[in-house]
Structure 1
Amino acid sequence: MIHLPPLLAASAVFYGVRWLRRGRVGTEDAARAIWSDAHPGDDVIRCAVSQDGRAALVESDWGMGVIGHNGRMVQRLDTVAVERSADGLTVHVPGDTVPLRLSQTEATDWHQRLSSSRPSIDAV
């Protein structure tokens, strides 16, 4: 049997629960909760969750953002590049590239919404 110090055990439980909670975006309500957790001052206006439930496009009073990596990446879209890919969209954030697997219809819709939302986004 493994014995963990109480603080280490409590941390493992806290982060484990948080990881499980963010395992999937799933629904619009879940996307709103994930976004609000990461950006508590933002008022979420609208969310579009991908068909597989692993990503979401979020429109808030601040602007547009994406939730990816099954809910573990929450990114405002002010300094990113977004491009179409064979599997959907690819979001290039500072220091990372995040592929979002989307249907062709979703990819077209999300790309259009992102392109028209903020001229500073480099949508190709």
Structure 2
Amino acid sequence: MSRAEARGGEEEERCRYKGVRRRRWGKWVSEIRVPGTRERLWLGSYATPEAAAVAHDTAVYFLRGGFLGDGGASALNFPERAAAAYGAGSVAPLSPRSVQSVASDAGMAADAQLVAARESQLVPGEISVDDMEILM
């Protein structure tokens, strides 16, 4: 029996971003495993899946010390954003708690921007069903 069946047939919505999943009540959450350990690092819950993906990417970047060569960029959701935001050089890997803080801050900032952008597009009476699909 799968987990979805165990919960009464309820399925979690699939997310196209790495390290991101959706809670039953609609929030998007992100977590990552600390390399070389079994420890999971909680990165936060967000209103948008993109913000949770930004938090995940930030954690990947700083846990790996900025090294994204040899396929490391494939672990990212937005590799071009990471290169633009943090540069292509290597940095000293941060401690897991520092990574958690930096990633959470990046995700919250992205969430605030995305929510504000979506709200500014939602003018009452001027939105169609097609527009709603684009925003979601």
Larger fraction in strand: 1
Larger Rg: 2
Greater relative contact order (Cα < 8 A, sep 6+): 2
Scaled by the length of structure 2, what TM-score is found?
Answer: 0.28
Scaled by the length of structure 1, what TM-score is found?
Answer: 0.30
